[in-house]
């Protein structure tokens, strides 16, 4: 009876030690992880769908890690002057090789209300330069962390 009690305690100790080592391994792995980069490579206007304008976005994901990125899904959006104007989702993202890039095309729709707000703001205060943010939320299949938020910010000038 006494040996059974020690056996349970030993099993509990081994399980606890295993979990601690697993967490330490994850912490070590995540410290060497670098966020991928998401860039917009092209933007094509498609036929509208009712009041919603549709776009084909050419995107590129660059993987600075030594393991390929298997992306289960991607949410993406483009903001101008803080107004989210274009957004979409896709579960058709190619595998991004280790230290490599993947180029692909996704479809996105306009946010009608934010588009009206943006146009109204621009009419009130015309500008030659607009700030933009390209955002993405990656859901990864084979990597830790499982979900990664990435952003690219910059400015677009209407002057040539």
The helix/strand/coil state of 55 is strand
User: Is residue 51 within 8 Å of residue 112, measured between CB atoms?
Assistant: yes
Number of domains composing the chain: 2
Pair (6, 18) in one structural domain = yes
The helix/strand/coil state of 105 is strand
Question: What is the pTM assigned to this prediction?
Answer: 0.73
pLDDT digits (tens, 9 = 90+) for 63-90: 999 989 999 999 999 999 999 999 999 9
Pair (99, 144) in one structural domain = yes
* Residue range(s) defining the domain that contains residue 19: 1-32
pLDDT digits (tens, 9 = 90+) for 104-146: 999 999 988 999 999 999 899 998 888 999 999 999 887 666 8
The helix/strand/coil state of 142 is coil
Pair (27, 89) in one structural domain = no
């Amino acid at each position: 009876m006494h040996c059974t009690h020690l056996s349970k305690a030993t099993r509990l100790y081994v399980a606890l030690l295993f979990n601690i080592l697993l967490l330490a391994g994850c912490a070590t792995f995540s410290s060497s992880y670098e966020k991928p980069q998401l860039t917009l490579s092209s933007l094509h206007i498609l036929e509208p769908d009712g009041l919603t304008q549709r776009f084909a976005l050419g995107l590129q994901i660059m993987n600075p890690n030594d393991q390929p990125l298997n992306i289960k899904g991607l949410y993406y959006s483009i903001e101008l002057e803080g107004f989210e104007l274009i957004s979409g989702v896709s579960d058709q993202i190619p595998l991004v090789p280790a230290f490599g890039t993947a180029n692909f095309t996704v479809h996105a729709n306009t946010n009608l209300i934010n588009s009206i707000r943006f146009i109204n703001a621009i009419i009130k205060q015309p500008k030659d330069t607009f700030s933009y943010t390209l955002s993405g939320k990656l859901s990864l299949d084979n990597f830790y962390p499982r979900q990664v938020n990435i952003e690219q910010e910059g400015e677009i000038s209407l002057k040539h």
